[in-house]
Structure 1
């Protein structure tokens, strides 16, 4: 009994330390964004910032949630009730509304088993020493290369748990090696997608993606809450979070906003490399993209908020590159399109012990 109590105390102490570090890191990141916004666009109204501080304390129970509310306020030029701070989302909403089910998204070989959809460009998987087809049939290693390149000339390997453009590797027939894949770790081999010409006009090398955020409400209905377009830079092999460009997308029409935003939250009207303007561009096959992510989320309703990375290929087919059932970022969507979740009463949730 004493041993059990000691273990419980240690676990709780470690969890508290991790939470403190989590909120500290978010506070520092939000502080840098706020400093940039105020330096670039002028000081935010102190009265509005005070409303953000008060809302964090009175509604969410702690001032540790104020930094992102302050960023949203400075970005929008006003304070809006109903915003969800990104660190509240990560520390309270994610464990309360997803539990362990959202963590399944980190295990790439499970996507086909869960969703049974050809929208995923998965060709093969590597897990625990074995290669598998997208139908979970073991592949003899001497057949691996012919199977992988039977459909395409380039592939992408993504490690389990990869995200933000990290843990992603590109291979062609010349440099593909099964032993290299095995040395990297468990993950998925996907065909390299030839993106739609509308996406290609912005940057031809990295495949642009749409980040959809879908939720399941208390009545079991699935809905789209936010969408933005993610673009890489001209010389990138794939989109990477530390220097991508994000453009809000109208949820009804699929039109891009007039402005996109750099990683530092600075506004731009056109892609910095190609000079292609965002205004007037409509996402191809947008209705099909929406229908796809709604249909897929209905298959895993117990992960109640999911971020989907989707693209449209050259033939206007919807391709689901990955899904994020854990801490899918909500701060950009909240600032540009929010409050996105105000009807869901997430502010009433409290941290899971």
Structure 2
């Protein structure tokens, strides 16, 4: 029996080691491609030494300096405190967030139950494991199709494994046919199961002006630190002209937001390309959101209701009446590049937590 346990233990250890190696190769290839695309110059020997000295304090050796090279090449702000993606995704995020509760607790179909005290988009129907629901009542597909046949613009999206704006579709349905010419029943079939249909959020005029065709959201990364919630970084995510999504992975632009609501001067794509203005011609430095205190209060309250995850990225919209609207929250694979490109080495406080757990 002891031999069997030993074999299982050894197999798990080998699996974890090979997985880590595989992931490191993935991040290594990614940063090489980003540097090549951006044409970021190599760091000086002094800068490399500064990075190694900083990470040695946390007993972390062999840290890739290529991420520092990329960030510095993009925003012209050098710091040894930038965090490489592989370190965050392999060592930090899994330690701080309990994977056993992912993705079940982040399913968009239960978001209203998880956070009942914050406004959310109005839901028309839910599909949970293939079953249709409306107002918490089990319904058949025929009823679900009828409820969505409004002639008004709606959005359908997956509720699990749905990051990066994947498979989000805006549509109007009349007499069972959506504006693309497809039957709504076929659209449902394409999504399979675990999806949600909601009304479009009528967003605040300031955010809408950034790009009228997309829901432009505020992403805030928070850390649940003993008896308080720390805000690590805040950015706004803006779609490109004609795009219906604001996600950076689909070409959107992000810009850092200061605590007082003032936008930074520059915005960035994930490629590192910088922008001073949106496609609609609004300069970032001319924008200040007067409702940021309300937004920060909201994420402070929300994170205290989600202690299973110590670090969370919240996606929030602001409606036309200046209400904060929760769109989703991210706990695994939450992007860090947009935060560091816009706001610098904002993740450095997490290294102290990692050090205490090593």
Query: Shared fold (TM-score greater than 0.5)?
Result: yes
1:212 aligned partner: 220
* Residue of 331, 340, 344 corresponding to 1:334: 340
* Residue of 270, 273, 277 corresponding to 1:263: 270
Please give the alpha-carbon distance, in whole angstroms, between the structure 1 residues aligned to 2:151 and 2:224: 36
Per-residue Cα deviation, 1:133-155 (whole angstroms, up to 9, x for no partner): 3x533233332244446795422
Q: Count matched residues.
A: 345
Say if 2:199 is the partner of 1:191: yes
Determine if contact 1:65/1:88 at 8 Å carries over to the other structure.
no
Please give the alpha-carbon distance, in whole angstroms, between the structure 2 residues aligned to 1:350 and 1:92: 10
Describe how 1:275-290 pairs up with structure 2 within 5 A: 275-283=281-289, 285-290=291-296
Please give the alpha-carbon distance, in whole angstroms, between the structure 2 residues aligned to 1:339 and 1:8: 37
2:246 aligned partner: 239
Aligned-pair CA distance for 1:211: 0.8
Aligned-pair CA distance for 1:19: 1.4
- Kindly tell me: are residues 154 and 189 of structure 1, through their superposed partners in 2, closer, same or farther at Cα, counting changes over 3 Å? closer
Describe how 1:1-353 pairs up with structure 2 within 5 A: 1=1, 2-39=3-40, 43-56=42-55, 59=58, 61-75=60-74, 77=76, 79-100=78-99, 101-123=101-123, 124-133=125-134, 136-148=136-148, 153-174=153-174, 175=178, 177-178=184-185, 180-184=187-191, 185-217=193-225, 219-240=226-247, 241-250=249-258, 252-271=259-278, 273-283=279-289, 285-344=291-350, 345-348=352-355
Please give the alpha-carbon distance, in whole angstroms, between the structure 2 residues aligned to 1:295 and 1:149: 36
**Is the partner of 1:18 in helix, strand or coil?**
helix
Q: 4+ residue stretches of structure 1 with deviation over 6 A? A: none
- Kindly tell me: are residues 257 and 233 of structure 1, through their superposed partners in 2, closer, same or farther at Cα, counting changes over 3 Å? same
Aligned-pair CA distance for 1:259: 0.8
Determine if contact 2:223/2:311 at 8 Å carries over to the other structure.
yes
Determine if contact 1:106/1:161 at 8 Å carries over to the other structure.
no
Unaligned runs of 5+ residues in structure 1 are none
Unaligned runs of 5+ residues in structure 2 are none
Please give the alpha-carbon distance, in whole angstroms, between the structure 1 residues aligned to 2:45 and 2:35: 13
Per-residue Cα deviation, 1:171-197 (whole angstroms, up to 9, x for no partner): 222327255324413122222222222
Please give the alpha-carbon distance, in whole angstroms, between the structure 1 residues aligned to 2:162 and 2:347: 26
Aligned-pair CA distance for 1:310: 1.0
> 57-66 or 289-298: which moved more?
57-66
Per-residue Cα deviation, 1:196-254 (whole angstroms, up to 9, x for no partner): 2222222211111111111101x22112210111111112122241411111111x211
TM-score by length of 2: 0.85
**Is the partner of 1:234 in helix, strand or coil?**
coil
- Kindly tell me: are residues 15 and 169 of structure 1, through their superposed partners in 2, closer, same or farther at Cα, counting changes over 3 Å? farther
